[in-house]
């Protein structure tokens, strides 16, 4: 399967909770190139897991445009979304056990996940497992409950890869792991990416984000910042707003007046200004 890219323009997602409408995504503009590895960062409730669910076709966008490969998610039927998940997109949800059958061995879990794709050119289960670092023949011949938490997480990723998708979506794969197991999962994700698959990972852990090619920080339901090679850049929203890093926000809290000072080189400085008072004359 060829790598699959993603494009979002003005993506809005609203859902109802206890009678109230909640705006989970408030105008996301994002491009992920085919073959790229991206980490979605952000605090709890920022919308990053909602974005992943939309890209997986598990949650419908309320407004805007979303394309995964050649599929328009806003217009696709439920059958088309199901075919997308059965082929182009692999999904690994939070909590690895949700994607595993406890009464099958690790190898059988991958084999079972491949069954709906009969007729397609697939890797043997052992090669899929090797890609995520599960190479011990004795370990892959036991049920998931007998594996360590890190091994179960890598197995869940392997199951999501069983049908050779072009896009792998993974939600919080390391949130319940120790540092060593976390590093093994990150190595597995990097191996998947190096094999040619587009990888999008939701994570709270900056250390995981640093291992991906690009970081995208979701704040208040939209893209607030992007980072490459350890350097983070603020992103100007459609309404001209900018999400400031927390250390700057502490120094310039909401309501701060800023003076915009143009520079000779075309850049601009944002300088805190004194409190503005009305003219009493």
pLDDT in tens, 116-169: 655 678 899 999 999 999 999 999 999 999 999 999 999 999 999 999 999 999
Predicted local confidence at residue 117, as pLDDT: 59
Domain spans in the chain, listed from the N-terminal domain onward: 6-240
Do residues 217 and 224 touch, judged by C-beta distance below 8 A? yes
Q: What is the percent of the chain where pLDDT is above 70?
A: 96
Averaged confidence pLDDT in the chain: 90
C-alpha radius of gyration, the chain, whole number: 22
Do residues 243 and 224 touch, judged by C-beta distance below 8 A? yes
Token representation of residue 164 = 């050779």
Per the listing, tokens 């709906």 go with: 116
- Average pLDDT score over residue span 47-53: 94
pLDDT tens per residue, range 175-222: 889 999 999 999 999 999 999 999 999 998 988 998 998 999 998 888
Number of C-beta neighbours around residue 91 at 10 A: 20
Separation of alpha carbons 30 and 8, rounded Å:
5
CATH assignment, 6-240 = 3.40.50.300
């Amino acid at each position: 399967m060829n790598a699959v890219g993603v494009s979002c323009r003005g993506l809005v997602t609203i859902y109802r909770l206890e009678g109230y409408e909640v705006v989970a995504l408030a105008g996301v503009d994002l491009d992920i190139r085919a073959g790229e590895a991206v980490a979605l960062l952000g605090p709890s409730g920022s919308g990053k897991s909602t974005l992943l669910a939309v890209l997986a076709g598990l949650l419908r966008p309320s407004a805007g445009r979303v394309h995964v490969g050649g599929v328009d998610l806003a217009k696709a039927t439920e059958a088309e979304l199901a075919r997308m998940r059965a082929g182009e997109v692999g999904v690994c949800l939070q909590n690895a056990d949700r994607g595993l059958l406890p009464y099958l061995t690790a190898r059988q879990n991958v084999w079972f996940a491949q069954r709906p794709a009969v007729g397609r050119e697939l890797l043997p289960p052992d090669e899929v497992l090797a890609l995520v670092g599960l190479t011990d023949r004795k370990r892959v011949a036991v049920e998931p409950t007998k594996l360590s938490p890190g091994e179960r997480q890598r197995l869940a990723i392997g199951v999501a890869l069983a049908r050779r998708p072009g896009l792998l979506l993974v939600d919080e794969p390391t949130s319940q792991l120790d540092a060593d197991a976390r590093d093994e999962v990150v190595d597995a994700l990097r191996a998947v990416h190096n094999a040619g698959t587009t990888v999008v990972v939701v994570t709270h852990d900056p250390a995981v984000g640093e291992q991906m090619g690009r970081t995208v920080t979701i704040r208040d339901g939209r893209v607030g910042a992007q980072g490459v090679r350890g350097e983070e850049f603020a992103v100007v929203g459609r309404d001209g707003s900018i999400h400031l890093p927390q250390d700057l926000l502490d120094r310039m809290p909401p309501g701060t007046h800023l003076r915009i000072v143009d520079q000779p080189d075309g850049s601009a400085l944002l300088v805190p200004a004194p409190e503005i008072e009305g003219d009493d004359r």
